[in-house]
């Protein structure tokens, strides 16, 4: 308030003694304010451009890993008993992607902050999912385990295999039996809400021996425990997410 009074007093004195000088001072102040506003606008524009470039770098990073991220989304997002979608595991996966991949491939984007980066990664994945005509990452709602077995058998048939679902009893751990050009493959199909353990791997090992098959695998909509992965690695068992089954089936055909 005192400063305002001083300015008013000085202004009155200048207006009384030298009005032209007051006009000059006002013009000078206006010019300085105009320069300040231009500088602030340039700073805001530069900041906006930098943020846009950082977001574009994150989206390019997501695009390089989109197949894995789409699979992770399918594995981690689920609907609970009340019909609500649960994203907790997906947010954790996005945080992990940011800390291990984004930080390495585009470190300049890390200044956006953890929350913004998580949302940017998720938005990029969901955007790609919306534009992708391939819906193989989604299972029909309410699919039963038996329907899942037939679904997997159909994917194998579309890839060129003669595949069929076995009987529910006496199958020795084999849900789907497939043949191509004299090559035999056996699969277990696990529609689980939790990671698949090594019991499934043990069962398909027994099924492979029983059916005298050259190829064996466990197909699931979920992930696999570390013990299941270890046993599968030493036993030559394929652990497959259902979204990757078509690629595996065609690769096995090509490798004949």
* CATH class of this structure's domain 145-254: alpha beta
Average pLDDT value over all residues in the chain: 80
* Mean pLDDT in residue range 62-87: 78
Asked if residue 107 has pLDDT above 80, the reply is: yes
Q: Which long-range contacts (CB under 8 A, 24 or more apart) does 62-69 make?
A: 62/121, 62/124, 62/125, 62/128, 63/124, 63/128, 64/105, 65/97, 65/101, 66/125, 66/128, 69/93, 69/97, 69/121, 69/125
Q: 45-54, 98-107, 159-168 — which is least confidently predicted?
A: 45-54
Query: With bands split at pLDDT 50, 70 and 90, how would you rate the model's confidence at 178?
Result: very high
Query: With bands split at pLDDT 50, 70 and 90, how would you rate the model's confidence at 133?
Result: very low
Query: With bands split at pLDDT 50, 70 and 90, how would you rate the model's confidence at 100?
Result: very high
* Mean pLDDT in residue range 171-194: 88
Q: What Cα–Cα distance (Å) separates residue 40 from each residue in 44, 45, 48, 132? A: 6, 9, 12, 41
């Amino acid at each position: 308030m005192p400063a305002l009074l001083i300015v008013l007093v000085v202004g009155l004195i200048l207006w009384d003694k030298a009005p032209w000088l007051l006009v000059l001072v006002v013009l000078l102040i206006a010019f300085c304010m105009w320069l300040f506003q231009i500088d602030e606008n340039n700073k805001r524009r530069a900041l906006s451009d930098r943020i846009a470039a950082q977001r574009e770098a994150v989206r390019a990073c997501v695009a390089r890993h989109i197949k894995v991220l789409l699979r992770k989304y399918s594995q981690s997002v689920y609907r609970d008993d009340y019909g609500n979608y649960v994203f907790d595991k997906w947010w954790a996966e996005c945080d992990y992607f940011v800390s291990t991949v984004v930080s390495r491939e585009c470190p300049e984007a890390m200044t956006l902050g953890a929350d913004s980066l998580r949302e940017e990664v998720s938005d990029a994945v969901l955007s790609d999912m919306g534009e992708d005509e391939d819906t193989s990452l989604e299972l029909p709602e309410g699919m039963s385990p038996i329907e899942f077995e037939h679904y997997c058998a159909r994917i194998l048939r579309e890839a060129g295999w003669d595949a069929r679902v076995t009987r529910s009893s006496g199958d020795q751990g084999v849900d789907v039996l497939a043949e191509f050009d004299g090559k035999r493959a056996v699969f277990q199909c696990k529609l689980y809400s939790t990671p698949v353990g090594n019991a499934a791997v043990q069962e398909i090992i027994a099924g492979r021996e029983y059916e005298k098959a050259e190829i064996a695998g466990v197909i699931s909509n979920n992930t696999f425990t570390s013990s299941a992965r270890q046993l599968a690695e030493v036993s030559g068992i394929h652990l497959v997410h259902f979204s990757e089954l078509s690629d595996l089936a065609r690769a096995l055909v090509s490798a004949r």
